[in-house]
Amino acid sequence: MSNPILTLNHVTRTFAVKRQTIKAVDDVSLAIREGEIVCLVGESGCGKTTTGKMIAGVLPVSSGEILFRNQNIANLRGDDRKQYRLGVQMIHQDPYASLNPTHTIADIIAAPLRHHGFTRGDAATRERVRELLARVDLTPPDDYLEKFPHQLSGGQRQRVSIARALTVAPSFIIADEAVSMVDVSIRISLLNTLTKLKDAMGLAVLFITHDLALAKYFAWEGRIGVMYLGRLVELAPARDLVERPQHPYTQVLLSAIPEADPEVTRRKKHIELRSMDVPSLLRLPTGCAFHPRCPQFIGAVCEQNVPGLLEANGARVACHLVNRKT
């Protein structure tokens, strides 16, 4: 098994809101290996994007540490910091906002190549831009070089964003809702491109999404982490999590995914929550934060004690009910 490229140790991120302190991310520990895919899923406000931003160095941690190749990113200086900055690249949700509308596709991709000295001379840069466009399936590349972002579809723009992220030869990609703004028909094709790149370049990928069906498709050979109100509540190999979900929240999310066959969807048992209201981070429930909604609530222990993320049948699960059985 390869070494972790990235490790989160008890990472917490707080924000001041209305004179109170909220924990957007609370005590998250996670190690991602070289070449591995890990999906973080959960409802909006669960802390998955904040986690991605801390890994990318956009936000500092409030406590805990993030290690890139065993070095705390908060302490990196000089060349080590540059290696981390280039090694970890983020693909954002909105390809409309992340590409400069006044630059051609060739210029957008050439800029980081030149800036970081990955190519020398116009001819070599142009050739590398062509290679990168072909890698993200924008072919033939010459059809795209002189176009502006507004002349491309949403899916094509996102492919340009991916090509730009690849210019600096990263080893770790954070894709934050990277396919959620493109048409449903394009999503699978973009995910297939990301998978192909991951395999060809040995990239580790942290894929952040609210859509467990997408996570299931993309991370089938990797792992899925489910977040709820800032905490990681289940982390497991994707197949195990989908076929044998252990945390009640994961079970609810899976029960809500429509199947390709409408008849299977009709027969599927939909799990009802005790409450549809998502608690505010300003007024987090005591004990297990899921307890006001949990269909398997078991009383005082759920109301009073925060469950730890413990080993359970090859996964890690934060639930008193599961932890009692294992």
Cα(79)–Cα(182) distance, rounded to whole angstroms? Answer: 37
Nearer to ligand SF4, 76 or 273 (CB): 273
Q: Are 246 and 322 in contact (CB under 8 A)?
A: yes
The stretch near ligand SF4 (CB under 6 A) out of 18-26, 124-132, 219-227, 313-321 is 313-321
Structure tokens at 187: 């999503």
Nearer to ligand SF4, 65 or 303 (CB): 303
- Asked if the peptide bond before residue 295 counts as cis, ω within 30 degrees of 0, the response is no
Smallest gap from Cβ 251 to ligand SF4, in A, equals 10
Region label for 103, one of left (φ > 0), alpha (ψ between -120 and 50) or beta (otherwise): beta
CB atoms within 10 A of CB 301: 16
Closest CA to 42 of 29, 58, 59, 25: 25
Cα(68)–Cα(266) distance, rounded to whole angstroms? Answer: 45
Q: Which of 39, 106, 236, 302 binds ligand SF4 (CB under 6 A)?
A: 302
Instruction: Tell me the pairing of strands 37-41 and 204-209.
Output: parallel
Smallest gap from Cβ 280 to ligand SF4, in A, equals 18
Q: Which of 110, 191, 307, 315 binds ligand SF4 (CB under 6 A)?
A: 307
The stretch near ligand SF4 (CB under 6 A) out of 63-71, 200-208, 250-258, 314-322 is 314-322
Q: Which of 24, 32, 145, 319 binds ligand SF4 (CB under 6 A)?
A: 319
Q: Does 132 bind ligand SF4 (CB under 6 A)?
A: no
Site track for ligand SF4 across 218-257, x = CB under 6 A = ------------------------------x---------
Q: Are 316 and 27 in contact (CB under 8 A)?
A: no
Q: Does 321 bind ligand SF4 (CB under 6 A)?
A: yes
Q: Does 312 bind ligand SF4 (CB under 6 A)?
A: no
Site track for ligand SF4 across 269-298, x = CB under 6 A = -------------------x-xx--x-xxx
Burial code of 281-290, b = ≥16 C-beta within 10 A, e = fewer? Answer: beebbebbbb
**Where do contacts with ligand SF4 occur on this chain (CB under 6 A)?**
248, 288, 290-291, 294, 296-298, 302, 307, 319-321
